[in-house]
Every structure is written in C-alpha cells, then in structure tokens.
Amino acid sequence: MRVYRSALLRFADDGTAVYDEDGLLAVGPDALGRQRVVAAGAWQALASQYADQPVTHLPGRLLAPGFVDMHIHFPQTDVIGSPADGLLPWLENYTFPHESRFAESEYGQQVAPVFLDELLRHGVTTALAFSTSHPASVDALLGEAQRRHMRLITGKVLQDRHSPDGVRDDTEQSLIDTEALIQRWHGVDRLGYAITPRFAPTSTPEQLRGAGELAARYPDVWIQSHVAENLDEIRWARELFPASRSYLGVYDDFGLMRERAVYAHCIHFDDDDRALMRDTGAVAAVSPTSNLFLGSGFFDYASADRVGFGYGLASDVGGGTSFSPFHTMMAAYYVGREGQTKQGLSLSPQQLWWQHTAGAAKALGLAGVVGNLQPGCEADFVVLNPQATPLLARKTVQARNLGELLFALIVLGDDRVVEQTVISQAKYGSSA
Ligand code: GUN
Ligand code: ZN
C-alpha cells in the first residue's frame, strides 16, 4: 500500500471535478500486481484509516489523473511542425514519405521509446495511437509499451490505394496481418488493438468491408480512423463513395460504426452525422492543435452536445503541434471560443481537463479503468508543480478557486509542470 498526501483532483461520474486541497490517495496492488486506487478523498476524513502506513507528502503539488490522448500518430513524432496548404498536401509531401521509413523494423524500434518517453514526460499515461501500415511498427510500439506497463492501444494502418509505394498495403494481406496482430496483442497486459483504416479515400471498398467484418468478429477491439477533417478530403471521399449518404456514412455502410469506434476530427458534420455517432456509440477524438495548424476548421462542441454524442481530446501529433495536454486543452478553449460567437459556448477549465482524462477514458470505453482516481481505477497519475515557472508561481498563488488554478495551468503550463508521471507499476520523473 502507498499513501500520498497532496492536493488531489478527480472526477465524479457526471464529469464534475472533485477537488481536495488537502487530499489523500491510497493505492495498492490487485491480484495481477497492478496498482489500483484504494481510497481517495479528504486527508481529514481518511487519514486515521491509514495511520500505520508511511505517507509520501507532496506539499504544494497537485496529484491528478494521468492524461488520456485519444488520437496520436506514433510514426509522426518527427513530422510535427511540417507546414502545408492543407491536409492532403501535408500527407503527400511530409507524412507518407516519413511513414515509409517504418518499412525498416529497426526504425520503428528506435522511434518507439522516443515516442513513449515523450508521452510520459508530458503526463500522458494512456493513448490510442496510429502505427503505420507496416505490422512491425505495431510490434515495436506495443513491445515497448509492454516493457513500461503502459495502457496503450494501436493498430496497423490499412491503406491499399491512393497511397505511394512504401506505405501502400495489399488488400488481402492487410486483413490477414490485422487479424494476426489482434491475436498477438489485444488484451495482453494493458495493451489493446485498434482496426485502423487510415481514412476512406485510401482504402478500397474491399479493404473497408474486410475491416468491418473483423470489427464484427472482435467486438471489444477498437476501431480508429479520420473523418470530416478538411473540405478537399470530404469532396474526395464523396466522389469515391457516391452511394453513401455522407462521408461518415461510408464507415457506417462498411460496419465500422459501433462502440469503441473512434473518429478523429468530426468537424464538418450535419445533424444526421451527429445522430449516427450518437446512435452507434462511436465517438470523436477532438484534435484542436491539428485543426488549427492545418487550417481544417473548428469542432462544433455545441452541436455535439445538442445531439449528444461522445468525444474527448487528442493531440493528433504530427498534424497536431504538441504532445502537451496543456497545449491541447488551450487550443480546445480557443476552438470553443470560436464557437461561442455563434452558439454562446465557453468551455470551463474543469470541462477541458475532463475531456483529456475521465471524459476521454469514458469515450474509449475505459471509464473506471483509467483517466480518473476513484477507487478501483488503475493508479496512473501525475504530480504537477503549479510553481514550475516564475509566472505560473505568481499566477497560481493568486488562484481563489479550482477553476482559476486549472486555467492558470492550462494557459501557462507545459512539460515543466509535470514533475512525475506514475504508471500503475512503474514511475518516471524527477523526484522519488
Ligand atoms: N487523414 C488521413 N491520414 C491522416 C493523418 O495522418 N493525419 C491527419 N490529421 N489526418 C489524416
Ligand atoms: Zn490523425
């Protein structure tokens, strides 16, 4: 058993932030040796029950759930900051050429630890990631995540057309490889598999059909793709699949809309698309730094809430510009402000934080498992230092309530704030 005394942030089931300025977190091993939260709450209320335990006291620090990144590209770690007129030229000129390097399995093995170090340094403890079309890229990433006891989900990208040599796969082989990877990795330790058609324009109908068949046969495997990100992309998808009602409708027509299906972006939707998301249980990975960087558009929070489909936050590195959840939450706030002029919406810091922790976990079907620090959750958490920089120290000392504290961290924070990242069985960071 380990007992921590610190300011403590967690979330109620309805998404409300629960804050104890002087909190207690007790964690202990389950039957698998995985640390889980045993108790969380006010120090005053709980301390007597743990009087015989040594206490790790973290004065001036904030203990909070590890962040959950709902959509990120492992092979695009080095693509960050590649400017382009928009999504399609960005893919053609930077992304596809770079991803072709992962044909060499050694290259993936070299990048995987860099990628996971970067996630952990920024306080991200769970991610749903794209690998490349090369099966060895999945082995490289999941093998490294397994060594670190991380909760990580990824999949081999399916892209059998409109893709250059080096990343294009073969229809039949791609489906055989996907099934073999599901059997090798899904549910092993804390790892999961996601069936990963890149996006409708780069898959033949046969490949999408095969992906949908696998999704039906393996219902607890995730599905991930992109949709309605960019106007040129949408035009192209509509040309290629004229029989479908909309771009999102293509995925529905091939059996790729269900719970545990995660679609990045979901910007240019109509209400029928939103209702399809809601009714199938598919969710959106909102990727605001990517959408602002590539000029794709603004996720419509008000319409998503009005119709009622699930979503959470994502970096979308390397279309996204940062691994930092603070930067992503800041960008989501800007996106919400853009919507505000039309729909009267302003996202609170508590909502933004929820979207990147418990809300993202809920959208992934992992509520009560990660992204929160309620009893029973796996003990993945961060220790944040609200005095990490001179300006943050000035600002946070003046915070009069939780909202002001979280807003200061969102606006001024980055990896310097993340003092420790603790994974259920291991610990990373600067101090013990
Ligand atoms: N659409 C298809 N592939 C990609 C990708 O790698 N990144 C983004 N942002 N959108 C995509
Ligand atoms: Zn993406």
Are 104 and 210 contained in the same domain?
yes
Ligand 1, closest atom to CA 294?
9
Q: Which of 344, 363, 382 lies at the terminal end of a domain, its last residue?
A: 363
Give the model's confidence band at 432: pLDDT under 50 very low, under 70 low, under 90 confident, else very high.
very low
Q: Is the pLDDT of residue 343 over 70?
A: no
Ligand with the closest atom to the CA of 197? 1
> Pocket of ligand 1, candidates 74, 88, 91, 130: which has the most ligand atoms within 8 Å of its Cβ, to mutate?
91
Mean pLDDT of 136-149: 98
Are 284 and 331 contained in the same domain?
yes
Are 39 and 183 contained in the same domain?
no
319 lines ligand 1 (CB under 6 A): yes
Are 12 and 127 contained in the same domain?
no
The whole model's pTM is what?
A: 0.97
Q: Which domain holds residue 50?
A: 2-66+372-428
How many distinct structural domains can be found in the chain?
A: 2
Mean pLDDT of 264-277: 98
> Pocket of ligand 1, candidates 76, 87, 133: which has the most ligand atoms within 8 Å of its Cβ, to mutate?
87
User: If you measure from the C-alpha of residue 258 to the centroid of ligand 2, how many angstroms do you get, rounded to a whole number?
Assistant: 19
87 lines ligand 1 (CB under 6 A): yes
Are 120 and 264 contained in the same domain?
yes
Burial of 299 (C-beta count, 10 Å sphere; 0-12/13-18/19+): buried
Give the model's confidence band at 33: pLDDT under 50 very low, under 70 low, under 90 confident, else very high.
confident
The CATH number of the domain holding residue 143 is: 3.20.20.140
Q: Return the higher-pLDDT residue of 265 and 339.
A: 265
Are 148 and 257 contained in the same domain?
yes
320 lines ligand 1 (CB under 6 A): no
Mean pLDDT of 301-328: 97
Mean pLDDT of 365-387: 98
Q: Is the pLDDT of residue 328 over 60?
A: yes
Q: 382-422: per-residue pLDDT in tens?
A: 999 999 999 999 999 999 999 999 999 999 999 999 999 99
Are 165 and 115 contained in the same domain?
yes
Percent pLDDT > 70 in the chain is 97
